[in-house]
Structure 1
Amino acid sequence: MGIKEKSLEISYGEVGPSTWKRQLDFLMSVLGMSIGLGNVWRFPYLCYKNGGGAFLVAYLSLLVIFVLPVIILEIVMGQYTRRSAMSIWRLVPVLQGVGYAAYIILFLGNTYYPVLMAWSLRWLISSLSSTSPWTDCTNDWNSEDCVPISLSRDSNQTTQLLNSTAVNLTQTLGNTGSQSSVEEYWRTFILGQSPGLEEYGSVKWDLALCLLGTWLLVYFSVWKGISWTSKIVYVTATLPIAMIFIVVVRGVTLTGASLGISKYLSTNVTKLSDLELWTDAANQLTFTFIVGYGCLISISSHNERHYNAIRNAAIIGCANAATSFTSGFAIFSVLGHLAEIKNTTVDAVAESGPGLVFMVYPTALSLLPLPNLWMAIFFITLILLGLDSLYVIQDGLFECTKDLAPTLFRGKWTYEITHGLLSLIQFAIGLTMVTNLLLVYSVYEMKPLTYNRTYRYPTWVNGLAWLSALSSVIFIPVTATYVIWKSPGDTMFQKVKNSAKSSVPPESEEIKSGDDAIALTSPNQAITP
């Protein structure tokens, strides 16, 4: 077969996307992307908060009825068109703004997510020390209100926290009551948190170095494309699952574990009529499966067209849901133990998000024999869960970047250099989140004006949060308006109709060379024998 080059048109770039060598590579990458921190620090708490079994009913119902069909749709769109989330919307030009919105969401998401990894890495480094400075109040950063954790390393039973009704791991900034030594270690030593936005502070350089280390891991894991990423995810996607099971086995053997597990699984059927339960279930599903963000489309663009999308979606859905459910036993067995040690209820210690993994859980693990070992295992698990999500999402983001500016990728080393520049920009933005201000909390939780339920941010912060939210969706109406205005037609109806017509010519043939597939999209191309 010969091709007359002058009649060959490629709709984006000069070479189509590379292809996964095996279907398993694709599956492991998607599992690595979707199974992340949300499975550990969000799902168990939402399940406990919304009536246990009732939440599982809502979660599984929405998964089967809504989320799995969307996953199948995104996989099919990606592997059939072999386009990223950016260029695929040329099929419906009036909706091209969705591609730009997806790009902004992926960019912002992969800018703050490494900060969470930096926090985890800083805790991991602390856990490797010979001492446990977060367990006492003899350090320079401790205040007069500090209440230490007392440990007994000579027996399997640990002594209880000092008897103080003021000890509260979710205590808020500015409260004059007592604070646990773990909370002070987290807020004062690791974060160096300022009282408010009025005191912006400086960059925490230990956290900045942890953030830099995270970005170096991400960059050198994806700088050569999926040929590298597909190998790394076999470790980063499977090892955390094994470590979660280790924590589960240890957790269920602790005294008081049954208290936490019974709270986790207790069923309140009346909750099914509560709209908040269904909203939480829907939010959790879209958050963990990353549907609607366009990343799955970009990853699926590396698939062969014959891949079984329905089977792959079913495996992804079952594996993700099973991991979330299992993580609940790891979390609530330990919280049950903590509640018994403190002679309080599980309700008093239950928490989600950063408060769970950076304060409550370290407190509980500090009360176990060999606390540093369990702390290291826990934070290694968090880091691996986060890194494989970062790897895959960054690859999806980069595929969109290639569609935005294909001319940047035609020379030698341009892929590596451009990827390095993109990562450098994201790292620079991330530095603003490792200052004493720590605005990332409000951005991540999406709860305007408040921090830890009591501190109220100034009004301008609320406006900044709205700008952040609108920075992606604004592209949809703006782009749609522009496309309609530019579309041919004498009447508005004709313009709207023409704006929905595909701007991509029908594909007539596909020529493969090695692992790459070149899509010949011009209907008039000439192929000679």
Structure 2
Amino acid sequence: MAEQPCLGPPASPAPPNPRTHPRDKWSKKMDFLLSVVGFAVDLGNVWRFPYICYQNGGGAFLIPYTLMAVFGGVPLFYMELALGQFHRTGAIPIWKRICPIFKGIGFAICIIGLYVSFYYNTIIAWALYYFYSSFSGTLPWASCDNPWNTPDCTNYFGKSNVTWTNFSRSPAEEFYTRKVLEIQKSGGLHDIGGIRWQLLLCLFLIFTIVYFSLWKGVKTSGKVVWVTATLPYVVLLILLIRGATLPGAWRGVVFYLRPDWSKLLSTAVWVDAAAQIFFSLGPGFGVLLALASYNHFHNNCYRDALVTSAVNCLTSFLSGFVIFTVLGYMAEMRDVEVEDVARDKGPSLLFITYPEAIANMVGSTFFAIIFFLMMITLGLDSTFGGLEAVITAVMDEYPQLLAGRRELFVLALITVCFLGSLSTLTYGGAYVVKLLEEFGAGCSILAVVLLETIAVSWFYGIQRFSHDVKAMLGFTPGLFWKLCWVAISPALLAFIVISSLLDQPPLTLFDYQYPEWSISAGFLIGASSFICIPLYTVYKLVWTPGSLKQVRTGQERTTPWLLGGLG
């Protein structure tokens, strides 16, 4: 019988025979766990969670955050690990086994992975530039006595006789904007200017590290993560101890955890909690599928999902203490409220606010070096995972073409990512980074993971998926997990997607207001990945022979293909 758009509910396909389909395996179980933790724990844990937490009710925010993790993030985290481990293949060819008309999801995931690589590695390159600049007796962002400073530069940290105005800029802010980015040489997205050769060298070094970590597969990347996934925790602990001993640290902690229960009545708070947990754990990026596909068939992915997702969430919570002890110190030194120094978000928190505090600590050079080393390792882990998802998906889809040529394919992919990042290295590159961050992997990835959940739970069938899990683990997922996969998690994702599309605040960076045409371009970027899904569905329906009904048994009874997995 010719391949139909969506398979019906007969027995689940057997996993590939390792004798006829040789596949790499993790050398050690810990290699896999560290790779998953390294991907999930990224720069967003350090800058996004603390900001969202205090903006949405402090300690009260932990209630919606925990609920969204329990009913949304963790179930989908578990689902992706189980799918990857059972089918032992990447994000594109896996749909041949689940529901072929949804194969466009795999292509969409790969395109999103490329968009993320275009801007995310540039942020790591900024951290590398700071890391190099930290090797000096006096940190270059500690004073206003530098060639790049302007008359507006005001160093008022710990000084009572300095007047701060709306035009004042801290030395840390001017170092970031005028020295690292040189954004003053750009007029905006319509005039991004030339390439910063210093950042070009930093990005080249980053991609070189990434290439030699991924070129041999999980055998090499599994060893690298022993450093890149564990070092951040050592540094976080050091920074937490140092922050806790600073004057005013308690003010920051109180501000971070002080609950504002009225915030729980706001829909926006629940949307932020759901979005944060989904972006933090990372289902839908194809990374969990790829990493789990190199596991042994009977590995306990259920336990892995619980452990690694708990580590991720606890790391986000811990990062809040690291950030806010320092913000409390800054507020104490400036004699202002913590809220007045906690307004920065995103990269600005990591490249302006925190470095400014470090510059005024005893032993500033040491703390700057380990802080930016932590940022580099956090970023590299996530890059390893994101690109491995693309590599595994494409190589598994075209094994005849790419078998035995992994090194060349990885080199070609890294080259494409490097060339795609060039616009982010210009004088106006920060504007491009912001645009790609907002639209390259925003609503599109949430919509992708929504369709993925529906395809697995409704089309492939929750019973078939449960049988697959039982074949691997020896037990069937409980009622809680089935309810989350079938109804609760898809409902939460639909809620986030709709809310995000209806609420589009103006996009700004520093004093730059993004023009309307750039917002339209951003929507096109987001749509360019998601459009793969309906296009492939139409292609499959047009080119698949036969009617829209397929024979499920040898009898004449038929079932509409759309209901294939529900029967």
Q: Which residue of 1 aligns with 2:143?
A: 136
Tell me, yes or no, if the aligned pair for 1:72 and 1:309 is still in contact at 8 Å: yes
Structure 2 counterpart of 1:427, from 409, 418, 421? 418
Q: Which residue of 2 aligns with 1:459?
A: 516
Structure 1 counterpart of 2:399, from 406, 411, 423? 406
CA distance in 2, matches of 1:54, 1:240: 27
Report whether the alignment pairs 1:24 with 2:23: no
CA distance in 2, matches of 1:435, 1:500: 50
CA distance in 2, matches of 1:281, 1:450: 21
CA distance in 1, matches of 2:559, 2:198: 54
Q: Which residue of 1 aligns with 2:175?
A: 185
Q: Measured at CA, do residues 492 and 465 of structure 1 come closer, stay the same or move farther in structure 2, by a change above 3 Å? A: farther
CA distance in 2, matches of 1:310, 1:52: 31
Provide, for residues 82-124 of structure 1, a one-character-per-residue CA deviation record: whole Å limited to 9, x for no partner.
Answer: 1111111112011111111111111211221110100000011
Q: Which residue of 2 aligns with 1:212?
A: 204
Report whether the alignment pairs 1:293 with 2:285: yes
Q: Which residue of 2 aligns with 1:353?
A: 346
Q: Measured at CA, do residues 284 and 313 of structure 1 come closer, stay the same or move farther in structure 2, by a change above 3 Å? A: same
Q: Measured at CA, do residues 374 and 269 of structure 1 come closer, stay the same or move farther in structure 2, by a change above 3 Å? A: same
Tell me, yes or no, if the aligned pair for 2:112 and 2:529 is still in contact at 8 Å: yes
CA distance in 2, matches of 1:283, 1:276: 10
Q: Measured at CA, do residues 124 and 216 of structure 1 come closer, stay the same or move farther in structure 2, by a change above 3 Å? A: same
Tell me, yes or no, if the aligned pair for 2:548 and 2:560 is still in contact at 8 Å: no
Q: Which residue of 2 aligns with 1:336?
A: 328
Q: Which residue of 1 aligns with 2:428?
A: 437
Give secondary structure in 1 for the equivalent of 2:103. Answer: helix
Q: Which residue of 2 aligns with 1:99?
A: 106
Tell me, yes or no, if the aligned pair for 2:249 and 2:328 is still in contact at 8 Å: yes
CA drift of 1:298 comes to: 1.2
CA drift of 1:208 comes to: 0.6
Q: Which residue of 1 aligns with 2:164?
A: 165
Q: Which residue of 2 aligns with 1:268?
A: 260
CA distance in 2, matches of 1:142, 1:29: 41
Provide, for residues 179-233 of structure 1, a one-character-per-residue CA deviation record: whole Å limited to 9, x for no partner.
Answer: 1111111101110102423432110000110000100010001111000111111
Provide, for residues 445-470 of structure 1, a one-character-per-residue CA deviation record: whole Å limited to 9, x for no partner.
Answer: 45786323642223321121011111
CA distance in 1, matches of 2:374, 2:212: 20
CA distance in 1, matches of 2:161, 2:372: 26
CA distance in 2, matches of 1:131, 1:254: 20
Tell me, yes or no, if the aligned pair for 2:116 and 2:437 is still in contact at 8 Å: no
Q: Which amino acid aligns with 2:406?
A: Y
Q: Measured at CA, do residues 445 and 256 of structure 1 come closer, stay the same or move farther in structure 2, by a change above 3 Å? A: farther
Report whether the alignment pairs 1:84 with 2:74: no
Give secondary structure in 1 for the equivalent of 2:345. Answer: coil
Q: Which residue of 1 aligns with 2:76?
A: 70
Q: Which amino acid aligns with 1:160?
A: K
Tell me, yes or no, if the aligned pair for 2:16 and 2:87 is still in contact at 8 Å: no
Q: Which residue of 1 aligns with 2:228?
A: 236
Q: Which residue of 1 aligns with 2:374?
A: 381
CA distance in 1, matches of 2:132, 2:511: 31
Q: Measured at CA, do residues 164 and 394 of structure 1 come closer, stay the same or move farther in structure 2, by a change above 3 Å? A: same
Superposition RMSD in Å: 2.4
Tell me, yes or no, if the aligned pair for 2:156 and 2:164 is still in contact at 8 Å: no
CA distance in 1, matches of 2:325, 2:136: 26
Tell me, yes or no, if the aligned pair for 1:93 and 1:501 is still in contact at 8 Å: no
Q: Which residue of 2 aligns with 1:393?
A: 386
Q: Which amino acid aligns with 2:437?
A: Y
Q: Measured at CA, do residues 14 and 467 of structure 1 come closer, stay the same or move farther in structure 2, by a change above 3 Å? A: farther
After TM superposition, the score normalised by the length of structure 2 is 0.80
Q: Which amino acid aligns with 1:38?
A: G
Tell me, yes or no, if the aligned pair for 1:257 and 1:336 is still in contact at 8 Å: yes
CA drift of 1:406 comes to: 2.3
Tell me, yes or no, if the aligned pair for 2:173 and 2:352 is still in contact at 8 Å: yes
CA drift of 1:264 comes to: 0.4
Report whether the alignment pairs 1:36 with 2:42: yes
CA distance in 2, matches of 1:336, 1:79: 45
CA distance in 2, matches of 1:81, 1:457: 44
CA drift of 1:499 comes to: 7.5
Provide, for residues 384-412 of structure 1, a one-character-per-residue CA deviation record: whole Å limited to 9, x for no partner.
Answer: 1111111122222100121343233234x
CA drift of 1:277 comes to: 1.1
Report whether the alignment pairs 1:118 with 2:128: no
Aligned length: 475
Structure 1, gaps ≥5 residues long:
1-8, 151-158, 168-176, 503-529
Which of the two has greater helix per residue? 2
Structure 2, gaps ≥5 residues long:
1-14, 440-503, 552-557
Q: Measured at CA, do residues 162 and 382 of structure 1 come closer, stay the same or move farther in structure 2, by a change above 3 Å? A: farther
CA distance in 1, matches of 2:375, 2:29: 26
CA distance in 1, matches of 2:351, 2:266: 30
CA distance in 2, matches of 1:74, 1:28: 17
Q: Which amino acid aligns with 2:419?
A: A
Tell me, yes or no, if the aligned pair for 1:27 and 1:312 is still in contact at 8 Å: yes
CA drift of 1:292 comes to: 1.6
CA distance in 1, matches of 2:91, 2:562: 19
Structure 2 counterpart of 1:478, from 535, 549, 562? 535
Q: Which residue of 1 aligns with 2:115?
A: 108
CA distance in 1, matches of 2:119, 2:189: 19
